Structure 1
Amino acid sequence: MAASDNRRAITVGIFLSLGLIIFIIGVFTLGGEQKSFAKNIKISAVFDDVAGLKKGNDVWFSGVKVGTITSIKFVGTSQVDVNMKIDQSVQQFIHRNAGVRISSDGFIGNKLIVIDGGSPQAPQVDDGAVLQAEKLTSTDDIMKTLQSNNQNLLAITSDFKLLSHKILQGKGTVGTLLADSLMGEQLRRSMANLQTATASAARLAGQLDVFSKKMNTKGGFADKVLTDTVVFSRIKASIAQLQQAATNASTLTDNLNKVSNKLNEKDNAVGVLLNDPKAAAQIRSTLNNLQQSSIKLNDDLEAAQHNFFLKGFFKDRAKAKADSLRKK
C-alpha cells in the first residue's frame, strides 16, 4: 500500500514538473513574441480614423515588427489616441519628425501601424514622444475616387463614340478628309508641295554654304574687300566720286529747272518768244519785213551793176578777184 502511494506521488510530481516546465517555456515564448521582457519606449499618435485598428496589433518599421499597440482611446471630440511600445534598439533609427500611418498585413490582413523613420538630420525620438499621424485613405474614399474615374471614363467614351460617329458621317475636318476624295487629293498635293519646298530650302542652304565658303576663300574679291586696306581705300574713293557725280547731276538738274522756269516767264527775250503770242507775231512781222527789204536791196544792187556810171567799178572788182584766185 505504501509502495503504491509512493509511485502515485512520484508520477504526479513528474507530471507537475513537466507542466511547470511547459508553462514557463510558453510564458517566455509569448513574452519573446510580445517583447515583454525587452526594454521598450512608449510613443503615441493621434488619428482621425483608425479603420478597425485594435489593441495588440503590430507596429512595423522598415518591414520589421518592432512593437505592439498597448491602448486605443478617444481624445478631444472624435479623435483617437493610439499608444504603442517599441523596442528600444530601434530608437536610434526613428527621428522626431517621423510619421506614422495605418496599413494592413496583406490585402485583407490585420491592421497595423507603420512608422516612417523621418530625416536623418533630426534628433532621435524620445520616450513618450507624440508622432505625426498621416491621414488614412479609407475604402470609401477609394470607392469615391473609382466612381468619379468611372464617370469620367464614361463621359470620355461617350464623347469618343459621338466623335467617331460624326467622322463616319463625313462631318468636321477629319470626316471630310476621310469622305471627300478631292480634298484628300488636294491634301496629298499640298504635302508634296511642302516636301518640294523643303527640298528647295535644303538646296538653298547648301548653296548659301558654298557661297559663304567662296566668300571666305583667301585671295577672292570678298577677302580683298574685307582684308586689303588698299582695295578698300580705292572702293571708298570710287564711292566718293560717285557721290560727287550725283551731287553735280543734282546741281545740273536744278540749273535746268531754273532755265525751264525762266523759259516759262516773260521777263526775257526767249521767254517772250515762247510765251507771248503777240510779241512773237511782231517779231515774225519784223523778220518778214527784213526779208522783203533784203530782196529789194538785191534788186537795187543788180540794177546798179548795169548802171553806166558804176559798170566800170564792178568790172575792175571782178577782174581783181579773178587775178587773186589765179595767184592762189
Structure 2
Amino acid sequence: MQTAETKRNILVGLFIFFGLVIFIVGIFTLGGQQKSFVKSLRINAVFNDIGGLKPGNNVWFSGVKIGTVKTIKFYGRSQVEVNMSIEQSAQQYIRKDASAKLSSDGLIGNKIIVLFGGNPKMPEIEDGDILQVQKELSTDDIMKTFQQNNENLIGITTNFKKLSTDIVKGKGTAGALLADSSLAMSFRAIVNNLQKTTRTSAKLAGQLGVFTAKLNTKGGLADKVMTDTTVFNKLQATANQLQKTAGNASAITENLTKASNKLNSTDNAMGLLLNDAKTANQVKTTMGNLEQSSQKLNDDLEAVQHNFLLRGFFKKKEKAEAAAATTPKATTNE
C-alpha cells in the first residue's frame, strides 16, 4: 500500500514539475515574441481607417520587427488612434518627423504598421510622440480603380469594334482605301509620284554637289573671284565704271529732258519759233522779203552787166575765166 502511494506521489510530482517547466517556457516564449521583457517606449499614430488592424499585430521598420500594436481606440469623430510599443534599441533610428503606414504581411496576410525613419538631422522620438500617417490605398480604392479601368477598357474595345466594322463596310477614309480599288490605285499612284520626286530630288542634290565642287575648283572663275584680290579689284573697278557710266547717262538724259522742256517753252528763240505762231509767221514773212530782195538784187546786177559803161569789164572777165578753164584741160591731154 505504501509503495503504491509513494509511486503515485512521485508521478504527480513529476507531472506537476513538467507542467511548471512547460508553463514557464511558454511564458518566456510568448513574452519573447511579444517583446514583453524588452525595454520599450510607447508612440501613437492616428489613422482614418485601420483596415482590420488588431492589437498584437507587428510594427516593422526597414524590414525588421521592432514592436507590436498595444491598443486601438477611437479618436475624435471618425479617426482611430493606434498605440504602439517600440523597442528602445530602435529609438535612435526613428526621428520626430517619422511617419507610419498601414501595410499587409504578405499578399493576404495580417495587417501591420510600417515605420519610416524620417530626416536624420531631426531629434529622436520620445515616449508618447504622435507620428505622421501616410495615406494608403484601401482595398475598396483599389477595386474602384480596377472597376474604372475595366470600364475604360470596355469603352476602348467598343470603339475599336465600331471602327473595325466601319472599315470593313468601307466607311471613312481608311475603309474607302481598303474597299475602293480605284481610290487605292490613286493612292498607289501618289506614292509612286512621291518616290519619283524623291529620286529626282536626290539626283538634283547630286548635281548641285558636283556644281559646287566645280565652283570650288582651284583656278576657276569662282575661286578667283573669292580668293584672288586682283580679280576682285578689277571687277570692283568695272562695277565703278559702270556706275559712273550710268550716272553720265542719267545726266545726259536729264539735259535732254531740260532741252526738250526748253523747246516746249517760249522763253527762248528756238522755243519761240517752234511754239509761237505769230513769231513763226513773222520769220516766214521776213524770209519771203529776203527772197524778193535777193531776186531784185540779181536783176539789178544783171542790168549793171548790160550797162555800156561796165560791159567791157565783164567781157574781159569772162574771157579770162574761159582761158583759165581751158588751160588745165590742155595740160591733162598732153
TM-score (norm 2): 0.78
Query: 8 Å contact 1:49–1:136 — kept in the other structure?
Result: no
Within 5 Å, give how 1:14-53 maps onto structure 2. 14-53=14-53
1:80-121 Cα distance to aligned partner (Å, 9 max, x none): 000111233333333333322112223332222122333445
Rounded to whole Å, the distance in 1 between the matches of 2:142 and 2:60 is 24
Percent of aligned pairs sharing the same letter: 56
SS of the aligned residue for 2:42 comes to strand
The 1:221–1:153 alpha-carbon spacing in structure 2 relative to 1, beyond 3 Å, is same
Rounded to whole Å, the distance in 2 between the matches of 1:78 and 1:273 is 122
Within 5 Å, give how 1:223-234 maps onto structure 2. 223-234=223-234
The aligned residue for residue 149 of structure 2 is 149
Q: Work out whether 1:319 is the aligned partner of 2:319.
A: no
Shift of 1:156: 2.9
SS of the aligned residue for 1:82 comes to strand
Rounded to whole Å, the distance in 2 between the matches of 1:282 and 1:167 is 101
The 1:284–1:161 alpha-carbon spacing in structure 2 relative to 1, beyond 3 Å, is farther
Shift of 1:263: 4.3
Rounded to whole Å, the distance in 1 between the matches of 2:289 and 2:173 is 94
The letter for the 1-side match of 2:118 is G
Rounded to whole Å, the distance in 2 between the matches of 1:117 and 1:327 is 149
The 1:248–1:186 alpha-carbon spacing in structure 2 relative to 1, beyond 3 Å, is farther
The aligned residue for residue 108 of structure 2 is 108
The aligned residue for residue 59 of structure 1 is 59
Shift of 1:43: 2.0
Which region of structure 1 is more displaced relative to structure 2, 229-238 or 128-137?
229-238
The aligned residue for residue 196 of structure 1 is 196
The aligned residue for residue 137 of structure 2 is 137
Rounded to whole Å, the distance in 2 between the matches of 1:54 and 1:67 is 14
SS of the aligned residue for 1:127 comes to coil
The 1:87–1:166 alpha-carbon spacing in structure 2 relative to 1, beyond 3 Å, is same
Shift of 1:240: 1.6
The letter for the 2-side match of 1:239 is A
Shift of 1:295: 11
TM-score (norm 1): 0.79
SS of the aligned residue for 2:114 comes to strand
Within 5 Å, give how 1:86-97 maps onto structure 2. 86-97=86-97
Rounded to whole Å, the distance in 2 between the matches of 1:233 and 1:188 is 57
The letter for the 2-side match of 1:249 is A
Q: Work out whether 1:3 is the aligned partner of 2:3.
A: yes
Rounded to whole Å, the distance in 2 between the matches of 1:282 and 1:197 is 81
The 1:121–1:166 alpha-carbon spacing in structure 2 relative to 1, beyond 3 Å, is farther
Which region of structure 1 is more displaced relative to structure 2, 308-317 or 248-257?
308-317
Shift of 1:251: 1.1
Within 5 Å, give how 1:273-288 maps onto structure 2. none
How many residues align? The count is 328
Query: 8 Å contact 1:44–1:130 — kept in the other structure?
Result: yes
The 1:124–1:203 alpha-carbon spacing in structure 2 relative to 1, beyond 3 Å, is farther
The letter for the 2-side match of 1:158 is T
The 1:290–1:44 alpha-carbon spacing in structure 2 relative to 1, beyond 3 Å, is same
The letter for the 2-side match of 1:322 is T
Rounded to whole Å, the distance in 1 between the matches of 2:51 and 2:96 is 25
Structure 1: where are the runs of 5+ without partners?
none
Rounded to whole Å, the distance in 2 between the matches of 1:53 and 1:81 is 11
The 1:265–1:136 alpha-carbon spacing in structure 2 relative to 1, beyond 3 Å, is same
TM-align CA RMSD:
3.9
Shift of 1:299: 12
The 1:169–1:49 alpha-carbon spacing in structure 2 relative to 1, beyond 3 Å, is same
1:294-320 Cα distance to aligned partner (Å, 9 max, x none): 999999999x99xx9967754542231
The 1:74–1:211 alpha-carbon spacing in structure 2 relative to 1, beyond 3 Å, is same
